[in-house]
Structure 1
Amino acid sequence: MTKKIRLNAFNMNCVGHIHHGLWKHPRDNSIDYNDADYWIELAKLLEKGLFDAVFLADIVGVYDVLGDGIRATAREAVQLPVNDPLYVVPLMAHVTKNIGFGVTCNLTYEQPYLFARRMATLDHLSKGRVGWNIVTGYLDSAARAMGLKQQIDHDDRYDRGDDFMDVFYKLLEGSWEDGAVLRDRQRGIYADHEKIHRITHEGPYYKVDGVYNLTEPSRQRTPVLYQAGASQRGNQFAARHAECVFTGGPSREALAKIVGNIRKLAVDAGRQADDIKVFSGLTVVVDTSEKAAQEKYEDYKQYASAEGSLAHMCSGAAIDLERFGLDEEITSEKLEAMYPGRLKRTGNARGGRFLEGTTRRQLLETRGFGSGNGAIVGTPSQVVDEIAKYVEETDIDGFNLTRTVAPESYRDFIDLVIPELQNRSLYKEAYEEGSLRHKLFGRGDKLPASHIGSRYRA
């Protein structure tokens, strides 16, 4: 395998992210997420490990489906409370030079004119190291909080997203020409008005008519575009817009099919198959010996919350599993009776199928590490064996490394796994110069000509 593996540190501006309950571990410092020093020190650590980016997840709304409330969510800090991910980026960018920042923002509840300014501002302040993880939302609680009666239908959210992106590209790529900013003190001309263009857009969801006067062009203009989704409609959206996709599957075989489908859809959209970097989730517990790694894993598990993980999963699937007895089998007929038509409307039918044939007790038992995600547990050599095999068998490009006990799990990976990856020539020895986009693709700072956004360039 000759591919250099890409790595993002998967995190969130909150206490409990993916492996719920581990904030209670005495060596975990995630309860300090409100402190600027928490993010500053994290950024320094991750840049030492040559991570490509900090990938910051986010949600709008709360996990309030299990038990029809937030009892488990609040007790176990299941992404509650959660702060805005954008505001920690300048802190981390100021103390680093190379690591990128992928921030999750839900376009369903944004207006493109102001959102484009926020992203361009971050790109300026970070000197071209910002990416945007495009999501359309999936929580009914978010829709209600934003003034809607219920979540917008799944495919309609992506239709809205396509319209949003058209405006976004027009604003960032088509409004100011590259030579518009002169900064000419002698002649007293800061910008050439003839190279600043009025933007008009009248789509099915968004309308804009005006000069984009809020920021001058940043280094990347358009941030690196990430996307996370699993449906066919989501994959079509990714094939049109995304440069990096975060996805997963129940097995390596399933994930390989998903990756192949994404790359095929990209080619169908007029792009190259390698125009998209595909990432999957990764959890690692590593130590210098197999025995020490297993003991660390068992130590971590003492603090994990299976119920917190179930609260997380229930909202994602839009199904309250407390309506089932502990040992009552979950069937499609029962789910449809409880939620007639709703699972299909919200795009959660896949989650419903995943639950069929199991019980609430079995689901809790599989979440002994505070998540439905498994972990690679072992020595550096064993961990890298699994990572390399995963990449080779699925054709993914890299991983979003999930934190467990923070920052210990990141530090262990950097001190133990990164050197082993480098010894096998699977990971970079140093950062390349340039923007986040150039570091990832080696093709310059701006969107490539094959990307739809480049067509809007002035």
Structure 2
Amino acid sequence: MTRHIRFNAFEMNCVAHQSPGLWTHPRDRSSDYKDLEYWTDLAQILERGIFDGIFIADVLGIYDVYHGSNEHALREAAQVPVNDPLQVIPPMALVTKHLGFGLTTSISFEHPYPFARRMSTLDHLTKGRAGWNIVTSYLDSGARNLGQSSQVRHDDRYAIADEYLEVLYKLWEGSWEDGAVVRDRARRLFTDPSKVHPIAHEGKFFQVPGIHLSEPSPQRTPVLYQAGASSRGKQFAASNAECIFVAAPSKVVLKKYVSDIRRQIAEAGRDPRKVYIYTLLTVIVGETDAAAQKKVDEYNAHASYDGALTFISGWSGVDFGQFKPEQHVQYIQTDAVRSMLEAFSTADPDKVWTVNEIARWGGIGGLGPVLVGSPSTVADTLQEWVEETDVDGFNLAYAVAHETFTDVVELLVPELQRRGAYPKAYSEGTLREKLFGQGPRLPAEHRATQYRRTASDASSHAVTADQSA
């Protein structure tokens, strides 16, 4: 049986997202990111293409590492201006029935107690189609604007994230028992108080004594996404993530990552086949190979060298403005996205990158490869990547909004379906049910389930004060 390929759309509530400069293309719509129609049109395109979901990235800061200034970020609209990601999801949910929604928010900049309510609300409004991309953030500018002197050190951010998730699991899984919400008009009883419990969390980073403010949502815990690819990030993902995103410049780098993270997931006591790994790609597809090549040549004429290095400097924490274009990229340890520099310096011994090469590479679609060709050519390549790297699917960025995704839906998806390599319809149920064919809640082997409280376990260790520190 041919293995199904999975697609997510990679977006952001900003201009051009991963393709700096492409907002100048006459057919690009990304400058309309402020309009609801931009988002509702996109959601309907993606649902027509049976995408798993739309993954909405976010930053709370500005890319000011390149040349030590925010000038190029502002000139090139390199993820600034940027609006809040959550508010575009309810209107997209209203015009779709199946599409999933992955919201990015950082554990570094919001307390878990109000965040738990925001995600429960979103899961209710989407009827169980909500997911959360767990990030720890990497921009010093964001930390400074929230009153911190600098970004917390890389591995320390994951220590905070571990406890942050513990608080959320207690609120989502353990505070309200099943059956706590009665809705009994005759007895004037909406909620049974005996089935709602304070979590009494006293930890190193957080103190949360009370109950969760929201009644249980369809999934309770949203589908958990994570994109950490450093050693510490992979440890965190192995214990928590249900969907993992990676940006790998080659099959060599991707295969190594997939093998390593599946091993770590198994060591964490979870089924590695029940965690989906998506790698970043941009697909430029045309009716023929020549038509696709003509299209990408047209796009490249609008790509920005400075815009690409603005992103790459921000992601890596290294100012690439200090290097000449022909210099080779070397690994420098920073507190930003360590895996990005590893991918372009040490992960693939057969490839040595220059600054100019990674700038050209990042001009369309960010750090992922760009596949160009007819539906048949691109489908061949996607199937090769799945077979050779064991990746489950692709997080698709766009070059031109919404043209890139429309081409994928109208040209590539039918070719993959013809090969039996892509679904022809959605499954019913919540996002978790659609993805994994299981119930709406996290499976028994997941870390979160130790914090569940049931009627038969009224003294669950997960919500007692003496064991929550």
TM-score band w.r.t. shorter chain = over 0.9
Distance (whole Å) between structure 2 residues aligned to residue 226 and residue 395 of structure 1: 18
Contact 1:286 1:413 in 2 (8 A): yes
What residue is the counterpart of 1:418 in the other structure?
413
What residue is the counterpart of 1:93 in the other structure?
93
Query: Offset at 1:249?
Result: 2.5
Asked if residue 44 in structure 1 is aligned to residue 39 in structure 2, the reply is no
What residue is the counterpart of 1:33 in the other structure?
33
What residue is the counterpart of 1:319 in the other structure?
318
What residue is the counterpart of 2:284 in the other structure?
285
What residue is the counterpart of 1:338 in the other structure?
none
Give the secondary structure class of the aligned counterpart of 1:319: coil
Query: Offset at 1:359?
Result: 4.8
Q: Which runs of 4+ in 1 moved over 4 A?
A: 326-332, 344-347, 355-359, 365-368
Relative distance call for 1:87 and 1:389 in structure 2 (3 A) is same
Relative distance call for 1:156 and 1:170 in structure 2 (3 A) is same
Query: Offset at 1:211?
Result: 2.2
Distance (whole Å) between structure 1 residues aligned to residue 375 and residue 342 of structure 2: 37
Relative distance call for 1:204 and 1:16 in structure 2 (3 A) is same
Query: Offset at 1:325?
Result: 3.8
Distance (whole Å) between structure 2 residues aligned to residue 42 and residue 265 of structure 1: 36
What residue is the counterpart of 2:193 in the other structure?
193
What residue is the counterpart of 1:391 in the other structure?
386
What residue is the counterpart of 2:111 in the other structure?
111
Which stretch has the larger CA shift, 255-264 or 161-170? Answer: 255-264
The 5 A counterparts of 1:290-369 are: 290-327=289-326, 343-346=333-336, 348=338, 351=341, 354=344, 359-367=354-362, 369=364
What residue is the counterpart of 1:457 in the other structure?
452
Contact 2:280 2:367 in 1 (8 A): no
Give the secondary structure class of the aligned counterpart of 1:23: helix
**Please, which runs of 5 or more residues in structure 2 have no aligned partner?**
347-351, 454-469
Which stretch has the larger CA shift, 16-25 or 357-366? Answer: 357-366
Contact 2:122 2:130 in 1 (8 A): yes
Identity among equivalent positions (%) equals 49
Contact 1:285 1:375 in 2 (8 A): yes
Distance (whole Å) between structure 1 residues aligned to residue 5 and residue 121 of structure 2: 30
2:236 partner amino acid:
F
1:348 partner amino acid:
R
Which stretch has the larger CA shift, 250-259 or 125-134? Answer: 250-259
What residue is the counterpart of 2:154 in the other structure?
154
Distance (whole Å) between structure 2 residues aligned to residue 219 and residue 366 of structure 1: 41
Give the secondary structure class of the aligned counterpart of 2:105: strand
Aligned-residue Cα RMSD (Å) equals: 1.8
Give the secondary structure class of the aligned counterpart of 1:288: coil
Give the secondary structure class of the aligned counterpart of 2:396: strand
Asked if residue 381 in structure 1 is aligned to residue 376 in structure 2, the reply is yes
Distance (whole Å) between structure 2 residues aligned to residue 401 and residue 245 of structure 1: 14
Distance (whole Å) between structure 2 residues aligned to residue 400 and residue 353 of structure 1: 17
Relative distance call for 1:398 and 1:93 in structure 2 (3 A) is same
Contact 1:306 1:369 in 2 (8 A): no
Contact 2:308 2:360 in 1 (8 A): no
Query: Offset at 1:349?
Result: 8.0
Query: Offset at 1:326?
Result: 4.3
Relative distance call for 1:192 and 1:371 in structure 2 (3 A) is closer
Q: TM-score, normalized by length of structure 2?
A: 0.92
Distance (whole Å) between structure 1 residues aligned to residue 240 and residue 328 of structure 2: 40
Distance (whole Å) between structure 1 residues aligned to residue 153 and residue 422 of structure 2: 41
Give the secondary structure class of the aligned counterpart of 1:47: helix
Q: TM-score, normalized by length of structure 1?
A: 0.94
What residue is the counterpart of 1:2 in the other structure?
2
What residue is the counterpart of 1:134 in the other structure?
134
Provide Cα deviations, 1:367-402, integer angstroms capped at 9, x if missing partner.
Answer: 454744331111100010000000111111111111
Relative distance call for 1:301 and 1:438 in structure 2 (3 A) is same
What residue is the counterpart of 2:458 in the other structure?
none
Give the secondary structure class of the aligned counterpart of 2:210: strand
Provide Cα deviations, 1:297-353, integer angstroms capped at 9, x if missing partner.
Answer: 111111111210110001111111222344456666xx6xxxxxxx34556386278
Distance (whole Å) between structure 1 residues aligned to residue 339 and residue 372 of structure 2: 32
Which stretch has the larger CA shift, 322-331 or 444-453? Answer: 322-331
Provide Cα deviations, 1:51-103, integer angstroms capped at 9, x if missing partner.
Answer: 11011011111100111111111111111111111111101001111100001
Query: Offset at 1:285?
Result: 0.7
Distance (whole Å) between structure 2 residues aligned to residue 349 and residue 30 of structure 1: 28
What residue is the counterpart of 2:422 in the other structure?
427
Q: How many aligned positions are there?
A: 448
Contact 1:16 1:30 in 2 (8 A): yes
Relative distance call for 1:91 and 1:365 in structure 2 (3 A) is closer
Contact 1:152 1:346 in 2 (8 A): no
Distance (whole Å) between structure 2 residues aligned to residue 424 and residue 216 of structure 1: 44
Query: Offset at 1:188?
Result: 0.7
Give the secondary structure class of the aligned counterpart of 1:158: helix
The 5 A counterparts of 1:252-267 are: 252-267=251-266
Relative distance call for 1:78 and 1:206 in structure 2 (3 A) is same
The 5 A counterparts of 1:47-58 are: 47-58=47-58
Contact 1:309 1:370 in 2 (8 A): no
Which stretch has the larger CA shift, 54-63 or 243-252? Answer: 243-252
Distance (whole Å) between structure 1 residues aligned to residue 387 and residue 85 of structure 2: 33
Which stretch has the larger CA shift, 119-128 or 268-277? Answer: 268-277
Relative distance call for 1:177 and 1:52 in structure 2 (3 A) is same
Give the secondary structure class of the aligned counterpart of 1:444: coil
Contact 1:317 1:352 in 2 (8 A): no
Distance (whole Å) between structure 2 residues aligned to residue 373 and residue 123 of structure 1: 30
Give the secondary structure class of the aligned counterpart of 2:394: strand
Give the secondary structure class of the aligned counterpart of 1:109: coil
Asked if residue 64 in structure 1 is aligned to residue 47 in structure 2, the reply is no
1:152 partner amino acid:
V
Give the secondary structure class of the aligned counterpart of 1:211: coil
Contact 1:21 1:370 in 2 (8 A): no
1:130 partner amino acid:
A
Give the secondary structure class of the aligned counterpart of 1:132: strand
Distance (whole Å) between structure 1 residues aligned to residue 339 and residue 286 of structure 2: 40
Which stretch has the larger CA shift, 200-209 or 318-327? Answer: 318-327
Contact 2:249 2:369 in 1 (8 A): no
Distance (whole Å) between structure 2 residues aligned to residue 249 and residue 81 of structure 1: 27
